[in-house]
């Protein structure tokens, strides 16, 4: 039997210890308004593989033929195994937070007859696997303790590309807040220590290209940066 890596890894090593990345889409009211979409009746959720993680000091790599955009998000790191939790108890399972970039392929391309982009997959009603799960598609910051972050529903997240402001919003605009997301996910999927839940991205995402520098932050609490390189 393979031992649970979390038995020997601290929560700060969530990139190595976590087994799942669960993302939420269309989770800012401003984004729904921009797209003229109604509020979803339940969270729009998807998975990213843990092989898509990178940390500072590593590059975001663009696969050949891909056009990718950056999406800054608040990440929630699970501290205690949870299944079928209620919104009222959900926050007690949170071990910490991080800042994340949900890198997403947006170009209309096909690979072996399967949709490679998010837009193509949406139109065909198919999964977003290639669009969301390519290598380096989940850059993350260090772990922030709950005390260091403060109220997760009232923090400013921002991003810049080559010094140009791109996204700037407050998590007070979330459609489904952290307790609702955790309750929805754990109704069907058990979350384990070190797993990451991405809470969604506000409007303003922009494509990035070879040679760009993506910066992102949580107010003045944390800042991270990632160079973008073409993967040859």
At 111, the pLDDT band (50, 70, 90 cuts) reads very low
Domains recognised in the chain with CATH numbers = 5-230 (3.90.850.10)
pLDDT at 120 over 80: no
> Is pLDDT above 90 for 6?
no
- In this structure, of 25-29, 79-83, 113-117, the range with the lowest mean pLDDT score is 113-117
The pLDDT assigned to 123 comes to 65
**Cβ atoms of 74 and 144 closer than 8 Å:** no
pLDDT at 110: 39
Alpha helices (H) along 129-177: 129-133, 146-149
Flag whether pLDDT at 98 surpasses 50.
yes
In order, the DSSP letters of 16-74 are HH---EEEEES-BHHHHHHHT-PPPSS-EEEEE-GGGEEETTS-EEE-TT--EEE-EEE
What is the rounded distance in angstroms from the CA atom of residue 56 to the CA atom of residue 40?
Answer: 34
- At residue 118, the pLDDT reads 60
What pTM does this model have?
0.90
Give Cβ neighbours of residue 78 (< 8 Å, ≥ 6 apart). Answer: 18, 93, 94, 95, 191, 192, 193, 194, 195, 196, 197
Three-class secondary structure of residue 211 per DSSP: coil
Average pLDDT over residues 53-66: 96
pLDDT digits over 154-169, tens only? 999 999 999 999 999 9
């Amino acid at each position: 039997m393979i031992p649970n890596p979390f038995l020997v890894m601290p929560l700060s090593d969530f990139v190595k210890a976590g087994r799942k990345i669960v993302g939420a889409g269309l989770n800012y009211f401003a984004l729904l308004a921009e797209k003229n979409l109604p509020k979803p009746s339940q969270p729009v959720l998807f998975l990213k593989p843990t092989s898509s993680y990178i940390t500072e000091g590593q590059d975001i790599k663009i696969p050949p033929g891909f056009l990718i955009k950056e999406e800054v998000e608040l990440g929630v790191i699970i501290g205690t195994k949870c299944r079928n939790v209620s919104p009222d108890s959900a926050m007690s399972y949170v071990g910490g937070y991080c800042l994340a970039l949900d890198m997403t392929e947006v170009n209309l391309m096909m690979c072996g007859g399967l949709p490679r982009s998010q837009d193509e997959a949406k139109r065909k009603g198919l999964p977003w696997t290639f669009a969301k799960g390519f290598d380096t598609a989940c850059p993350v910051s260090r772990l922030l303790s709950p005390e260091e972050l403060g109220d997760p529903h009232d923090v400013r997240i921002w991003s810049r590309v080559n010094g140009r402001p791109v996204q700037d919003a407050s998590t007070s605009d979330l459609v489904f807040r952290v307790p609702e997301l955790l309750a929805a996910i754990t109704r069907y999927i058990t979350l384990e220590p070190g797993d990451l839940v991405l809470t969604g991205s506000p409007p303003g995402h922009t494509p990035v290209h070879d040679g760009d520098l993506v910066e992102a932050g949580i107010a003045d609490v944390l800042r991270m940066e990632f160079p973008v390189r073409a993967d040859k």
